[in-house]
Chain A
Amino acid sequence: MKPPAFQYLRPNTVSEALDMLAAAGEDAKILAGGQSLVPMLNFRLLKPSALIDINRIGELDFISESETGLRIGALTRHRVTQTSPLIAKHFPVLTAAMDHVAHLAIRNRGTIGGSLSHADPAAELPLLMTLLDAKIRLASRNGSRELSPAEFFQGSLMTALEEGEILTEVELPYLPANTRWGFEEFAQRSGDFAIVAAAVTATLSGEKCDACRIAVIGGEMPIRVPEAEDALAGIVPTAEHIKTAATIASEAAEWNEDLHASRDFRKQLVQTLVARALTAALSPSRPVH
Chain B
Amino acid sequence: MLLSDFLRETLRMTGTHVGCEHGVCGACTIIADGHSIRSCLMFAVQADGLSLQTVEGLGKVSDLHPLQESFREHHALQCGFCTPGMLMTGVDFLDKHPNATDEEIREGLSGNICRCTGYEHIVAAVRSAAARKRETIR
Q: Which A residues have a C-beta under 8 Å from some C-beta of B?
A: 1-3, 8, 34-35, 38-39, 42-43, 53, 55, 79, 99, 102-106, 108-109, 189-191
Contacts and interface: CB of A to CB of B under 8 A. Distances in A.
Contacts of A106: 23, 38, 111
B42 A190 contact: no
Interface residues of B, number: 27
B99 interface: no
Interface of B: 2, 5, 21-23, 26, 29, 35-38, 40-43, 45-46, 89, 92-93, 96, 106-108, 110-112
A102 B45 contact: no
27 contacts: A1-B21, A2-B5, A8-B45, A34-B41, A34-B42, A35-B38, A38-B43, A39-B21, A39-B23, A42-B21, A42-B22, A53-B46, A99-B107, A103-B112, A104-B92, A104-B93, A104-B108, A105-B29, A105-B36, A105-B111, A106-B23, A106-B38, A109-B37, A109-B42, A190-B106, A190-B110, A191-B107
Nearest to A3: B2
A34 B45 CA distance: 13
Contacts of A190: 106-107, 110
Contacts, number: 75
Interface centre among B36, B41, B106, B111 (most CB of A within 10 A): B41
Contacts of A109: 37-38, 41-42
Nearest to B103: A190
Contacts of A8: 43, 45
Contact of B2 (A2, A53, A55, A99): A2
